[in-house]
Structure 1
């Protein structure tokens, strides 16, 4: 039984809590609090990671620090999502997740400047410009000069772009279901709440351009998150 070791650890922890509160009935809420107090946030053990070997304990200790572990899992989730999205966009002119999200953003606006779309799509200028170029080339987006400023261009989704977007929505819905896996409805709501909380935090820094260098990152952590 693969989970025997975990069951043994839980039983041992229940015994430890019982020794701390002899003669008292232990509730699930009390045990949960006790369990969390035992979690060492600087070195979380995991038995599910198949990528790491066992040669360098210091590296493993760093990798399994709570914040590092969460960050690493975010990276893995984003890569899984991109794989699923790539499959969903097969046989369409859309090549990447950024192509799809750019088109979806344009669907909700009468028009945008290129800079606005790139910002909304959370891209750097070079990669964002390339996405826009592909969409225009495919006839999914149109562009025209600003009447007041010839150097500025507006872009908007075309009817062809709208038709394509509607045709791939069902496949993208499947991507969403695949990404959330076997989470229960309650777990999905919890995950959505936590991710939205993180999105609000990071979007504020993205829009204010507060983290422009490694030094900015270090200083912000030391001043606000330590």
Structure 2
């Protein structure tokens, strides 16, 4: 079979992607993004070999500027998204994207504790508690005492919350289209792969609460630099 070597390469690439995703099931979309980036990795002419970057102060400076620029773009993208989300939620009881995602999370569960929802929504306790308070006040979420632990409360989406969520979904789809802009389908696959890779990295730190101080931030940043 003339294509055996190609098939063997594809199998190896699937194994690599599974390792990156810690054995989790992967989709064709995940693999497409991964493959596009693997192909792109073969072209090193844009910034040169990474080992050479570390041996050249001027090139190392460029690498750091690249990282800082990516960070800046992430912040700006977040701000653009907030602007679009605010417009999409006009005329509804929802005031923020965090309230929308909280409802969406609750829609996929029978009920959650407040702390569970706050963690799923990647929020700090104070801001997460305020989001829940507003949803309850608007009649979109119910709360009740935990039978086993009176200090804990459980919450669930109401029928009114479900109805509102369905109404908002279409407008939020428009937000998603605006966020991805004029990217081609191939570019979207590639971006999705890279963002998922970053999500896996950051979620592990978030769940394990590894970054609790400025010193932790510095330590892990240095480890990343060494491991490249």
In the other structure, the counterpart of 2:105 is 105
Distance in 2 of aligned mates of 1:190 and 1:41: 26
In the other structure, the counterpart of 1:13 is none
Q: In terms of mean alpha carbon deviation, does 34-43 or 151-160 score higher?
A: 34-43
Higher relative CO (Cα under 8 Å, sequence separation at least 6) belongs to: 2
Distance in 2 of aligned mates of 1:81 and 1:185: 20
Distance in 2 of aligned mates of 1:71 and 1:34: 23
Alpha-carbon distance, 1:150 to partner: 1.3
TM-score by length of 2: 0.74
| Number of residue pairs the alignment of both structures matches | 178
> Does the Cα contact within 8 Å between 1:41 and 1:66 map onto a contact in 2?
no
SS in 2 for 1:142: strand
Residues 219 and 33 from structure 1, CA distance in 2 versus in 1: closer, same or farther, beyond 3 angstroms?
Answer: closer
> Does the Cα contact within 8 Å between 1:118 and 1:129 map onto a contact in 2?
yes
Distance in 2 of aligned mates of 1:163 and 1:128: 22
Choose between structure 1 and 2: higher helix proportion.
2
Q: Deviations over 1:149-206 (max 9, x none)?
A: 1111100000000000000100000000000000000000000000000000000000
Is residue 76 of structure 2 the alignment partner of residue 33 of structure 1?
no
SS in 1 for 2:177: helix
Distance in 1 of aligned mates of 2:211 and 2:131: 24
Alpha-carbon distance, 1:34 to partner: 2.8
Distance in 2 of aligned mates of 1:198 and 1:72: 16
Residues 32 and 225 from structure 1, CA distance in 2 versus in 1: closer, same or farther, beyond 3 angstroms?
Answer: closer
Is residue 127 of structure 2 the alignment partner of residue 127 of structure 1?
yes
In the other structure, the counterpart of 2:13 is none
SS in 2 for 1:36: coil
SS in 1 for 2:61: coil
Alpha-carbon distance, 1:111 to partner: 0.4
In the other structure, the counterpart of 2:136 is 136
Matches within 5 A, 1:141-180: 141-180=141-180
Is residue 227 of structure 2 the alignment partner of residue 216 of structure 1?
no
CA-atom RMSD in angstroms: 1.8
Residues 182 and 70 from structure 1, CA distance in 2 versus in 1: closer, same or farther, beyond 3 angstroms?
Answer: same
Runs of 4+ in 1 over 4 A off after TM superposition: none
In the other structure, the counterpart of 2:191 is 191
Distance in 2 of aligned mates of 1:189 and 1:125: 34
- Larger-Rg structure: 1
In the other structure, the counterpart of 2:69 is 69
In the other structure, the counterpart of 1:94 is 94
Alpha-carbon distance, 1:225 to partner: 3.0
SS in 1 for 2:142: strand
TM-score by length of 1: 0.75
In the other structure, the counterpart of 1:22 is none
In the other structure, the counterpart of 1:114 is 114
Distance in 2 of aligned mates of 1:222 and 1:43: 17
Alpha-carbon distance, 1:32 to partner: 4.0
Alpha-carbon distance, 1:43 to partner: 2.6
